[in-house]
Amino acid sequence: MGNDCQELSFWNRLYVLFTGKLPTSALEVEQEDKSPNSVELMLDSDLKQWVENCSYQQNCSAVDFIQNTLTSVKESETGNISVCLETVCSRFRYVFEVHKINPFDIPLLINSKEIPRSVLMDDEKLIDTLNDDVLAEVSERFNVDIKWLKGTGKEFQKHDGQFKVYKNVGSLAAKLAKLKLKNERVELQFVIGTDEPNTEYELSLGDSAKNETQIGVIFKRTKVINGKEIATYSVSGSDDWNYKKCRKHYKLLMMFCKKMDITYSGLSLSKDNFNKVFFGELPAILVAKFKKDTWYPTSYVSNDSEKNPDFEGYEQLKSIYGTREDECHMTEIEHIERAYRFPHLVVDRDLFEDGLYEKSFIKSEETEK
């Protein structure tokens, strides 16, 4: 078809462009001097009629209409590329803006490539700087989904399952201890998703609540990078507070926070905003702006029967803490708590990372060599 196209007239080329077919022999008699105002183009009857009608409505020749249409398509394609690249630049900046980082300090937080501050002022320069390594580093550092950064994803927050609560309390406690070993300070927000007006009352209903009450946790992680303190955010999954075993696991996490003096608090969101946060659409750092109500998770691990809405359940919870009962998997909690309280005693941190918590406090023969 390539050689055949070279011999086609201008009009026949338009026919190929619009139909994807070579003209028939009957159509090939069209001459180069065909009037530019003619609509007897090498098009099928329906397309030719459409071109004729549109050109008449726009008070221009058929050729001018086709040229204007093709020009518009070309500009649209070029524009789409520009918009995509501009999106990458704007999302890169937004990550730092939403985490309240001074633009002047951005280069200090990127180790994979040197970024002059002047580059941040010009998208054409910035887009050439934002290679895969830089975007991957920003994604990892701020727990942002890489697809969102590249403009192809809708979920801002990355979900990797590291902070799952249900059936994972022991491993999650170990995760918090590992962050402590890396000099990260962690604060927890227990977030409730409900459209009911009184969050505290709704939570106290437990299994008897008529409507589903969702719960999840936001982990605020504060660390220092190149002399600059930054806070990043990770989220757990969404779970059902109305399910007794699930409720126990969240209370066990509250107990761990209480024992380790980890700051933890509670708030509630509408179900819509809750889903946006815990399924990644809304940055977790913005959760306070959408707060519907405040509740106090500390009351659920209180030894005061008047303050604790489920005091009897709490007494039972104490016997579960540190066991495998109800699939909480907390048999290693003694060593995890020790590491959290006294991180300097963890001699072999690689062993601790690998889950050999007790052995991590003792120098191995290989380490001593």
Average pLDDT over residues 78-105: 89
Residue 17's alpha-carbon distances to 30, 52, 61, in angstroms, are 16, 17, 18
Give dist(CA 230, CA 235) in Å, integer.
Answer: 17
Residue 368: its pLDDT value, please?
42
| Residue indicated by tokens 């010009």 | 122
Residue 179: its pLDDT value, please?
97
Residue 222: its pLDDT value, please?
97
Residue 207: its pLDDT value, please?
84
Q: Do residues 159 and 148 touch, judged by C-beta distance below 8 A?
A: no
Q: 253 exposed, middle or buried (CB, 10 Å; 0-12, 13-18, 19+)?
A: buried
Buried-exposed string 14-48: b where 16+ CB fall within 10 A, e elsewhere: bbbebeeebbeeebeebeeeeeeeebebbbeeeeb
Q: Do residues 99 and 109 touch, judged by C-beta distance below 8 A?
A: no
What band does 258 get if pLDDT is binned at 50, 70 and 90?
very high
Residue 210: its pLDDT value, please?
82
Instruction: Quote the tokens at residue 229.
Output: 């303190």
In sequence order, which residues have a C-beta less than 8 Å from that of residue 135 and are 6 or more positions away? 88, 92, 146, 149, 150
What band does 26 get if pLDDT is binned at 50, 70 and 90?
very low
| Residue indicated by tokens 């050109």 | 55
Question: Cα-atom radius of gyration of the chain, to the nearest Å?
Answer: 31
What band does 266 get if pLDDT is binned at 50, 70 and 90?
very high
Strand partners, 267: 191, 294
Residue 73: its pLDDT value, please?
65
User: pLDDT tens for residues 173-224?
Assistant: 999 999 999 999 999 999 999 999 999 988 988 888 888 999 999 999 999 9
Residue 21: its pLDDT value, please?
56
Residue 37: its pLDDT value, please?
46
Average pLDDT over residues 73-87: 71
Residue 75: its pLDDT value, please?
59
Strand partners, 157: 144
User: What is the value of pTM for the model shown?
Assistant: 0.76
User: pLDDT tens for residues 288-300?
Assistant: 999 999 999 999 9
Closest CA to 207 of 310, 127, 306: 310
**Strands 264-269 and 185-193, bridge-based pairing:** parallel
Residue 140: its pLDDT value, please?
95
Number of H helices, E strands in the chain: 15, 6
Q: At 4, phi and psi to the nearest 5?
A: -65, -40
Closest CA to 254 of 197, 321, 203: 321
Average pLDDT over residues 329-349: 96
Most confident of the following: 4-13, 154-163, 345-354: 345-354
Q: DSSP secondary structure string, 2-62?
A: HHHHHT--HHHHHHHHHHSSPPPTTGGG--TT--TT----SS-HHHHHHHHHHHHHTTS-H
What band does 160 get if pLDDT is binned at 50, 70 and 90?
confident
Rounded to 5 degrees, what angle do the CA atoms 314, 320, 324 make? 155
Residue 61: its pLDDT value, please?
76
Residue 63: its pLDDT value, please?
76
Read off the amino acid at residue 156.
Answer: F
pLDDT: which is higher, 309 or 46: 309
Average pLDDT of every residue of the chain: 86
